[in-house]
Amino acid sequence: MIHKKAVIALGGNAILSKDASALSQQQAVADSAEYLTDLIEEGYELVITHGNGPQVGNLLLQQMAADSENNPAMPLDTCGAMTEGAIGYWLQNALDNVLNRRGVNKKVAALVTQVEVSAKDPAFTKPSKPIGPFLTHTEALKEAKRSKSVVFKEDSGRGWRKVVPSPLPISIKESPIIEDLLNLGIVTIAAGGGGVPVVRTDTGDLQGIEAVIDKDFASQTLADLIDADLLIILTGVDYVYINFGQSNQMRLEQVTTSELMDYIDQGQFAAGSMLPKVSSAILFTENNPKRQAIITSLQNLGTAIKEGVGTWIVKG
């Protein structure tokens, strides 16, 4: 058995398709659990992270629709915690069921996770993180007129989405607990949606703040803190590409961090989609040359581990 520590960051397509109902999302999570269990059977000790952009955006819309003096809407950090708990429950339940069916003696725990950020992070003056459903330009203009504080941006050619501050993670409060759980052989679900953003006050207390942390950067930070061997970032494609969607499109297989940094300088990766994934993989591997990162699709996960397909990133 391998017994390597791996942090797996699930992309949004592993949870949400076009149908935003709980039943549909639970089915998508159940399908994802099958692929994750394949890795557990290979001997990997897993920490599983996940996004929550569509879910927290939808929840905010529901909160706003029901907002009243007697039933006030919850703030963004609390909505983040609520969706982290809900998706964590779905994943925990789905993995428990698959592990039980396959006769794998493993326990699963989901942990609501506080991720510390700096209140002085410049991201708070430049909202950039997309959340919620994709809208047409007309729908986005209509929503923006309702609230002057809401900012919408076009997201990688897929439509317009609300954007919120996305500060970089400094540390993860529960990382020692996550490491303890791994040492006990417990599959751990943590830092969902990038975790709940908190800042440290002058008195040393941690306090929630209105923001959404990118889940790939949170996953990289967690992987660093628990000294994981492998960071696996799952997305909607099997490989990272340069010149994506063009006639000279080329997939990247084995690639070094310096090569990826050159591609970033060329503007090869979209800020709202592939750029944070590539940047997180670079940070993880640069911090320890013995580590590797993989960017691939959920469906390609087993082949990536066994046969080395997908985009593998090493320091160099």
Catalytic residues: 12-13, 129, 215, 277
Position 254: which residue type? Q
Q: What is the DSSP letter of 129?
A: E
CB 2 within 8 A of CB 42: yes
CB 292 within 8 A of CB 281: no
Q: What is the DSSP letter of 303?
A: H
CB 60 within 8 A of CB 74: no
Report strand pairing: 254-256 vs 240-242. Answer: unpaired
The dihedral through the CA atoms of 106, 87, 215, 177 has a sign that is negative
Rounded to whole angstroms, the Cα distance separating 260 from 112 reads: 33
Position 71: which residue type? N
Sheet (strand 311-314) strand order? 108-110, 187-189, 45-50, 5-10, 230-235, 292-297, 311-314, 254-256
